[in-house]
Structure 1
Amino acid sequence: MLSNKICIVTGAAQGIGKTIVERFAKEGAACVYACDVNIGDMEESYSKDKNIAVRQLNVCDRQAIQTLIETITQEHGRVDVLVNNAGVTRDNLIDRMTEEDWDIVLDVNLKGVFNMTQAIAPLMIENNSGSVITMSSVVGTDGNIGQSNYAATKGGVIAMTKGWAKEFARKGAQVRANCVAPGFIETPMTKDLSEKVLEHMKNKTPLARMGTSTDIANGVTFLASEQSSFITGQTLKIDGGLVI
């Protein structure tokens, strides 16, 4: 599905991001740049995967982003797929949320997406081809208690994506922008939740289970591929029917 494509995935060290990297590589991408602020043992994990390149990257560091894109341009001349997956949470009720908790979530989840897309979209437009996929959340479409900051960012990326879908294609370039909005997903971020909380999540979901990172990677791979070549400006909810 992704034969010969040059892809960038942020937040790639674990969970959904890691699964997306592995899926892209399996689907024949020429190179998948697996980017994260903390790369840990990623280089060792992917040492046998010739089409995965691990890069340490903070999406809040605009100079580092520019340096990465310059390197990729020199090596490949293009970027075909960008997956904006990097994100953080700092949950609290509004009367307890600190300004620091607000700022870091906005910086990473919203401005970080802007930083990456601003650096890469012009290259896609110049090459007349590309797919930008940004991770939103059902919290961004329907809200959640104690997540004012997170909801603001996940709703914000949906709004930016709709604008980008129009902007990128305004002169005829076949450059698309879409979002994926997961529901309750089994990731390292949810593994420490109590069994009571996990059961509550499952009971709220019509399909009566937590989603997996593979469920999300399947949707992202579809939006990255030519099979979705006439889809742009959309938000694909992968939530087991949680929000209908």
Structure 2
Amino acid sequence: MTHLAYLGFGSNLGDSQALILRALQCLEQKVFGKILAVSSLYKTLPVGGPADQSDYINGCAAIVCNLEPLQLLEKMRAVEEEFGRVREVLNGPRTIDLDLLLFDDQLVSGELQVPHPRMHTRSFVLRPLFEIAPFAIHPILNRTIAELLFDLEGIIPLQSSSARELEGRKILVTGSTSGIGMACAVELALAGAKVVFHGRKPLDKINAYLDFAANCSGFSRYIQADLKSEDGCSSLIKQAWDDINGLDGVLLNAGADILTGEISQMNVDQKFKELIQVDLHSTFSLAREFGKRMKLAGKGVLLTTGWDQAVTGFKGDSGEMFAAIKGGVMNFSRSLSLSLAPEVRVNCIAPGWIKTSWGETASEYWQQKAKEECPLQRWGEPQDIASAARWLFSDKSSFVSGQILAINGGIV
């Protein structure tokens, strides 16, 4: 089972900012988990300990993993030891300090106490935690982090900062149970959006991600629908629009996995039919229906998902299939942008070599090919797509519509 944990971190020895970044990366690897968010860093005065020690750099992070609380604590202590943490003086200087603040909504007592017994009394915990989880609830005090911060300091921001530019907007992300879709859903939640997740299978392994989104914006929802069928598309439209009273944005990311999933064993014609149904037909139907409703509502943003090499061409069965399907999506998106303007903006994101499930297991040949073709000499990450989606949904891109945005490290 996947769990959501919030950590506090601090350092006042050495290059603290670099140590914190490396320690979080190390922890992510040790727990086989995923760091979902890291707050801003805060310079704070020491609390207790020697009078002559340096100021601290503090912050908070959210992580998902499959470990239980004591197992996670063991990994955190291993990271501290690896980075030179010495426990000789109470509240003394340290290279890295990792504290487990919250773990799902669990209460833990004994050697480890969760929630952290002093977190609600410390500004250097609540301020950074407010950035990434303002709606997270303290399971003993039954108050949100925002409320606890107000109790402690008597002030919390009422207006969204530029870091939460999508505050309150309702956005559906199809195909958001893994990879690019999951990264986009998480990033939009961090921007304050009320995210509706979607997947083909029953909710299982993404509970922690839904909790994270709810802690960011006070809302999250999961809708199961198979977009290969008309009934599945109709069900998604009803649940995502009618049941939550409209949407402000839609990212149509769902696609058939013909490279690593069950479909990879099918013949070319069968794979092509899957792509037509899921990647092309459902995008066409959903974009038109959601777009029509947004236009009537007087506002909205639609994003579709293309492929950069649908323009340049890519040899082989997969290249031919994806070029035909994604080329259709890209050109459809341009036309739809004209039909829905000026009320609704429509753009298409065209990823290049992005390290999703196929990229993680690709042979050395493909690993090198991707790097050699990319002027920036690396694979793209799902987060690269998520950052672009966040911008396209925001008012900062209010004069951008009808565009195909290739995110591919400079391939032209």
Q: Structures share a fold, TM > 0.5?
A: yes
Between the aligned partners of 2:257 and 2:176, the Cα distance in structure 1 is 16
The amino acid that maps onto 1:130 is G
- What are the equivalent positions in structure 2 for 1:135-154 lying under 5 Å apart? 135-146=305-316, 147-154=319-326
Identity of aligned residues (%): 27
Q: Does 1:174 align with 2:338?
A: no
**Shift in Å, 1:115:** 2.1
The amino acid that maps onto 1:27 is A
Bigger Cα displacement from structure 2, 70-79 vs 175-184? 70-79
Q: Answer yes or no: is the 8 Å Cα contact 2:228–2:274 preserved in 1.
A: no
Between the aligned partners of 1:225 and 1:111, the Cα distance in structure 2 is 27
Aligned-partner SS, 2:166: coil
Alignment counterpart, residue 246 of structure 2, candidates 59, 63, 78: 78
The amino acid that maps onto 2:258 is R
Pair member with larger Rg: 2
Could you state the TM-score of these two structures normalised by the residue count of structure 2? Answer: 0.54
- What are the equivalent positions in structure 2 for 1:92-171 lying under 5 Å apart? 98-146=268-316, 147-169=319-341
Aligned-partner SS, 1:152: helix
Between the aligned partners of 1:73 and 1:204, the Cα distance in structure 2 is 41
Aligned-partner SS, 2:354: coil
Alignment counterpart, residue 37 of structure 1, candidates 200, 208, 212: 200
**Shift in Å, 1:52:** 2.1
**Shift in Å, 1:67:** 3.0
Between the aligned partners of 1:138 and 1:208, the Cα distance in structure 2 is 16
- Superposition RMSD on alpha carbons, in Å? 1.8
Between the aligned partners of 2:362 and 2:350, the Cα distance in structure 1 is 21
Q: Answer yes or no: is the 8 Å Cα contact 1:89–1:150 preserved in 2.
A: no
Q: Where does structure 2 lack aligned partners over 5 or more consecutive residues?
A: 1-164, 260-265
Match of 2:361 in 1: 192
**Shift in Å, 1:53:** 1.0
Between the aligned partners of 1:22 and 1:56, the Cα distance in structure 2 is 18
Alpha carbons of 1:45 and 1:22: their partners in 2 closer, same or farther (altered >3 Å)? closer
Bigger Cα displacement from structure 2, 45-54 vs 130-139? 45-54
Alignment counterpart, residue 217 of structure 1, candidates 365, 381, 386: 386
Match of 1:64 in 2: 232
Q: Where does structure 1 lack aligned partners over 5 or more consecutive residues?
A: none
**Shift in Å, 1:49:** 3.5
**Shift in Å, 1:74:** 4.0
**Shift in Å, 1:75:** 4.2
Any runs of at least 4 consecutive aligned residues in structure 1 with deviations exceeding 6 A, and if so which?
none
Q: Answer yes or no: is the 8 Å Cα contact 2:223–2:239 preserved in 1.
A: no
Alpha carbons of 1:139 and 1:88: their partners in 2 closer, same or farther (altered >3 Å)? farther
**Shift in Å, 1:182:** 0.9
Report 1 or 2 for greater relative contact order, CA contacts < 8 Å, sequence distance ≥ 6: 1
Aligned-partner SS, 1:54: strand
Could you state the TM-score of these two structures normalised by the residue count of structure 1? Answer: 0.90
